Amino acid sequence: MNILLLGSGGREHALAWKISQSDKIDKLYIAPGNAGTAEVGENIDIKLSDFEAIKKLAIEKKIEIVVVGPEQPLVDGISDYFMLDPELRSVSVIGPVKAGAILEGSKDFAKDFMTKYNIPTAKYQSFKKATLEEGKTFLESLSSPYVLKADGLAAGKGVLIIDDLDEAKEALEQMLDGQFGDASATVVIEEFLDGIELSVFVITDGKSYKILPEAKDYKRIGEGDTGLNTGGMGAVSPVPFANKEFLNKIEDKIIKPTMDGLIKEKIKYKGFIFFGLINVKGEPFVIEYNVRLGDPETEVVIPRIKSDIVDLLKHTADETLDKVDFEIDDKACTTVMLVSEGYPGSYEKGRKIENIEKVSNSILFHAGTKRSGSEIITNGGRVIAVSSYGKNMNDALEKSYKNAEIIDFKGKNYRKDIGFDLK
């Protein structure tokens, strides 16, 4: 079978690595991919916003399954585009239609959905410019800190957490005045939940689902979870505090009602769901839904899946996911992200990456890398995820850190404390 994978990050390299191990794969294409995906498949330089070009490629290369890595093409309707085109009838897209992608594309929609289906989440209300004064009054009814969220996609920057009430009112006004463009034309204000976060992922064919290994990522740039938010600086799986009882609560109170809700709303959802959760005194609450896998969570989740992923994708495409064997590895997996100096602010690209060949006992998932002649050079803020297995988290972290030190490029930076709060 031929598969086309869309995206270019560490998440996509981890997926490509796993897909390439299947004996059911004939040819794997990655668009646009990176230097790592080029080692396990063929990269094709296409813009993910160019659905016409993706269609042409799918027909030309006789693609059966398209796996969509990032959220933007899903929110833009790539699944609908494929479903509605008679020439693309034989191609299945793993990723929801627009009506499902809105779970990530609109926080207001996601909150309404959770309320309707009784899924635990922070108390909230949504406001537009015309209801600014009501928004300020709602802020007064909450206690500090105040959580303000742009309704739409804002490149991970649309959530503000503010201690001071007057500053929060000011921020609300600025957001509604277009601080994040159209994305903040509606603002969700919600109660602050105090707890520890984790992520749970499922793959669903719209009828049944499989729960993938859970993970915890580290979003801030600085040690001890300080400084600016990034795409993610590292991750661990399993999450030590997520015991059987807690995971069962997540399935019963969150996953099942979400699946039932999608079916009741007649939303044809085929793909991954990422539940961004918080554990508040032993009870799980949903912070957000994403309609894709997480990055760098995928770099620890995928290595822990023992089953053939092509089998899993094919059964998802065929809506026979209940028939598939699904096995998870008991081993722990950790990843440490090597990033460019200056990230998440501005940074330079094009720096030569050295010593990759000296790495042993870790799997390197490339994020922002590019081949330049015989060299591999940096091509983004997040550069390489150093993933390792271990008999437990600490054992895996030891290997990730040993190799994080060995790989070299000018301005290399990484957090030295991944997993610190779980030890």
What is the strand order of the sheet 92-94 is part of? 42-43, 27-32, 2-7, 65-68, 92-94
Which of 205, 295, 299, 308 binds ligand GLY (CB under 6 A)? It is: 295
Nearest to 198 by CA among 301, 125, 108, 113: 301
Site string for ligand GLY, 163-202 (x = CB under 6 A): ----------------------------------------
CB of 218 to ligand GLY, least distance (A): 9
Tokens of 176: 């509604």
Cα distance between residue 145 and residue 147, in whole Å: 7
Contact status: 147 vs ligand AMP (CB under 6 A): yes
Asked whether position 122 contacts ligand AMP by CB under 6 A, the answer is yes
- Applying the rule CB under 6 A, the residues between 176 and 195 that interact with ligand AMP are 190, 192-193
Q: In what order do the strands lie in the sheet with 146-150?
A: 124-128, 186-190, 146-150, 159-162
Q: Residue-wise over 39-71: b if at least 16 C-beta within 10 A, else e?
A: bbbebbebebeebeebbebbeeeebbbbbbbbb
Asked if 229 and 324 count as a contact pair (C-beta separation under 8 A), the reply is: no
193 binds, among ligand GLY, ligand AMP, none (CB under 5 to 8 A by kind): ligand AMP
Q: Which residues pair with 334 in a beta bridge?
A: 236, 388
64: nearest Cα among 118, 13, 24: 24
Residue 2's region, left for phi above 0, alpha for psi from -120 to 50, else beta, is beta
Least distance CB 232 / ligand GLY (angstroms): 4
The item of ligand GLY, ligand AMP, none sharing an interface with residue 299, based on CB under 5 to 8 Å by kind, is: none
Contact between 108 and ligand GLY per CB under 6 A? no
232 touches, from ligand GLY, ligand AMP, none (C-beta below 5 to 8 Å by class): ligand GLY
Q: Say if residue 94 is exposed, middle or buried (CB neighbours under 10 Å; 0-12, 13-18, 19+).
A: buried
Among 158, 294, 303, 368, binds ligand GLY (CB under 6 A): 294
Binding of ligand AMP by 80 (CB under 6 A): no
**297 contacts ligand GLY (rule: CB under 6 A):** yes
Residue 159 binding result from ligand GLY, ligand AMP, none, given CB thresholds of 5 to 8 Å by partner type: ligand AMP
Rounded least distance, CB 107 to ligand AMP, Å: 7
State yes or no: residue 165 binds ligand AMP (CB under 6 A).
no
Write out the H or E segment, with its range, that includes residue 94: strand 92-94
Q: Does residue 104 belong to the site contacting ligand GLY (CB under 6 A)?
A: no
User: Out of 276, 354, 406, 413, which residue is the one contacting ligand AMP (CB under 6 A)?
Assistant: 276
* Backbone phi and psi for residue 152, each to the nearest 5 degrees, phi listed first: -95, -175
CB of 11 to ligand GLY, least distance (A): 7
Q: Do you know the residue count of the chain?
A: 423
Site for ligand GLY contains 234 (CB under 6 A): no
SS3 403: helix
Q: 130 or 155: whose CB is closer to ligand GLY? A: 155
Three-class DSSP category at 320: coil
Element (H, E) at 249: helix 244-250
Residue bearing tokens 């050079």: 377
State which of residues 69, 232, 344, 368 lies at the interface with ligand GLY (CB under 6 A): 232
In the complex, the smallest distance separating the C-beta of residue 288 from ligand AMP, rounded to whole angstroms, is 4
> Could you say which of ligand AMP, ligand GLY, none residue 65 binds, taking C-beta under 5 to 8 angstroms by partner kind?
none
Which of ligand GLY, ligand AMP, none does residue 288 bind to, with CB < 5 to 8 Å depending on kind?
Answer: ligand AMP
CB of 159 to ligand AMP, least distance (A): 4
Smallest distance from ligand AMP to CB 351, Å: 30
Q: What is the maximal distance between C-alpha atoms in the chain? A: 61
**Interacting residues with ligand GLY between 318 and 347 (CB under 6 A):** none
With respect to ligand AMP, which residue has the nearer C-beta, 83 or 280? Answer: 280
CB under 8 Å, gap of 24 or more: what pairs does 139-144 form?
Answer: 139/165, 139/168, 139/169, 139/172, 139/189, 140/165, 142/189, 142/191, 142/192, 143/192, 144/192
Nearer to ligand GLY, 277 or 324 (CB): 277
C-alpha to C-alpha distance for 98 and 30, rounded to whole angstroms: 22
Tell which one of 151, 190, 214, 217 touches ligand GLY (CB under 6 A): 217
Residues that bind ligand GLY (CB under 6 A): 217, 232, 290, 294-295, 297
Residues that bind ligand AMP (CB under 6 A): 122, 147, 149, 159, 190, 192-193, 197, 276, 287-288
